[in-house]
Amino acid sequence: MLGELAVGRMQGGCVLLGLLCCLVAGVGSYTPWDLSWTARGDPSAWTWGAEAHSRAVAGSHPVDVQCQEAQLVVTVHRDLFGTGRLINAADLTLGPAACKHSSLNAAQNTVTFAAGLHECGSVVQVTPDALIYRTLINYDPSPASNPVIIRTNPAVIPIECHYPRRENVSSNAIRPTWSPFNSALSAEERLVFSLRLMSDDWSTERPFTGFQLGDILNIQAEVSTESHVPLRLFVDSCVAALSPDGDSSPHYAIIDFNGCLVDGRVDDTSSAFITPRPREDVLRFRIDVFRFAGDTRNLIYITCHLKVTPADQGPDPQNKACSFNKARNTWVPVEGSRDVCSCCETGNCEPSVLPRRLSPMDRWHGRRFRRDDGKEVAADVVIGPVLLSVDLGAMGQQQEDGDGAEVTVSSVEMGLLCVAMAVALAAVGVAVGIACKGCTRISAAA
């Protein structure tokens, strides 16, 4: 009886230990840096919304945003993460241009940024009903006094302001201070080019946050033709970068050579155009999520050059949408003959009259808006910032040892180690129980 009680108690303790270890591993994989706040602006009623991921932040609204008529005002509480430790105001900046704060409030421990809607590298998206301005708050902590250790991770907080178009982008409700648009452009015939980040079934737009490596970006390019003659839309080029400026470094070509989705040519990707088109003025494509090596902010901007041709004009090497089919080892067009994609492999799709093939950066220089002999209208469009969630469970947690070095222990490894220890202790408990039973029997026989 005593042996059975000992076994039961030891097995129960081992089960509790295993559950505790699993809990520790789960906590180790949780990251408080997956932050997603959104400010939505309306000229008649400014509203503020916070996503569920803000649970790690002190107070209900650690970041307050006012979307005013011609500027946005962002107020950040210095106890940003609810730890009671105030962050350094100099470590906060606004937008890809890293604009500095405009004022400090020592009594309330807040930092305030005030900037025009088109300042600090903000991006504007035009939808049928609204103008959406996107920017972000960057938190880049200063290095510790000892450079070999890290006490705080950087963070990025996305900000959005939504303004109703009210029939016309030049309505009195919103001052027309943009020309041309950073991320969309309206041509003389009221053509509005746009890029939209869509859900898996392409039915609705999705947020720009929460992506992880291995996910898919569904991007929809479209042009609002209104009363224009029927047009066919093409994505001439797309380049990813760390800012809305496609000329910045580093950058990565996704679509090149007048409509070749070159990212799909890489062995470990599934990037491709979606066929068939839903409409002639819409073109969809998907790309595998990636990030730039060494980028602590885990974000990307994608700048695409969109253009239209008359819908009755057939595709050609300069106006096409081609994906690489790995199963057939060949380039396949969304429409038209395969001959239009033959130049994707050689990388020479420019007209023969050009003396040389220009790089994507050269072709874009000074080409925010273009008309070619009355036949083609084009514009550069930016989508972003697209933010990736940081998974500390996959990255491993950094701990400081006595010499200031770093010891990296994955939470998954920690969990497996705890389970192994629990199983080993359970086996020991069973062995002890059997031994105790043997001792009991011998005593009884004696």
pLDDT in tens, 73-128: 999 999 988 888 899 999 999 999 999 999 999 999 999 999 999 999 999 988 87
In the predicted structure, residue 337 carries a pLDDT above the cut 90: yes
Within a domain: 344: yes
Within a domain: 342: yes
Nearest alpha carbon to residue 131 among 194, 74, 38, 220: 194
- How many domains, the chain? 1
In the predicted structure, residue 242 carries a pLDDT above the cut 60: yes
pLDDT in tens, 304-327: 999 999 999 999 999 999 999 999
Predicted confidence at residue 264, as pLDDT, reads 96
User: Among 10-14, 164-168, 224-228, 259-263, which stretch is predicted with the lowest mean pLDDT?
Assistant: 10-14
Predicted confidence at residue 152, as pLDDT, reads 78
- Rounded mean pLDDT, 226-252: 89
Predicted confidence at residue 296, as pLDDT, reads 81
Within a domain: 133: no
- Rounded mean pLDDT, 335-347: 94
Phi-psi sector, 421: left (phi>0), alpha (psi -120 to 50), beta: alpha
Beta strands at 155-164 and 251-255: parallel, antiparallel or unpaired: unpaired
Q: Cα 25 vs. chain centroid, distance in angstroms?
A: 26
Letter string b/e over residues 161-192, b meaning 16 or more CB atoms within 10 A of that residue's CB = bbbebeeebeeeebeeebeebbbbbbbeeebb
**pTM (two decimals):** 0.64
- Contacts of residue 169, defined as CB under 8 A and 6 or more positions apart, other chains included, come to 126, 131, 176, 186
Within a domain: 167: no
Within a domain: 322: yes
Within a domain: 363: no
Predicted confidence at residue 72, as pLDDT, reads 95
Within a domain: 298: yes
**Which ranges of 297-359 does DSSP label H, i.e. alpha helix?**
343-346
**Domain assignment of residue 285, given as a range:** 192-348+376-390
Rg (CA), the chain: 28
In the predicted structure, residue 287 carries a pLDDT above the cut 90: yes
**pLDDT higher for 94 or 375?**
94
User: Among 24-38, 97-111, 337-351, which stretch is predicted with the lowest mean pLDDT?
Assistant: 24-38
Helix, coil or strand: residue 81:
coil
CA gap 26, 13 in Å, rounded: 20
Predicted confidence at residue 377, as pLDDT, reads 85
Could you tell me the two tokens for 62? 């650690």
Stated as kind and residue range, the H or E segment containing 442 is helix 411-445
Q: How confident is the model at residue 58 (pLDDT cuts 50, 70, 90)?
A: very low
Within a domain: 97: no
Predicted confidence at residue 85, as pLDDT, reads 87
Residue type, 110: T
Q: For residue 317, what is the domain's CATH number?
A: 2.60.40.4100
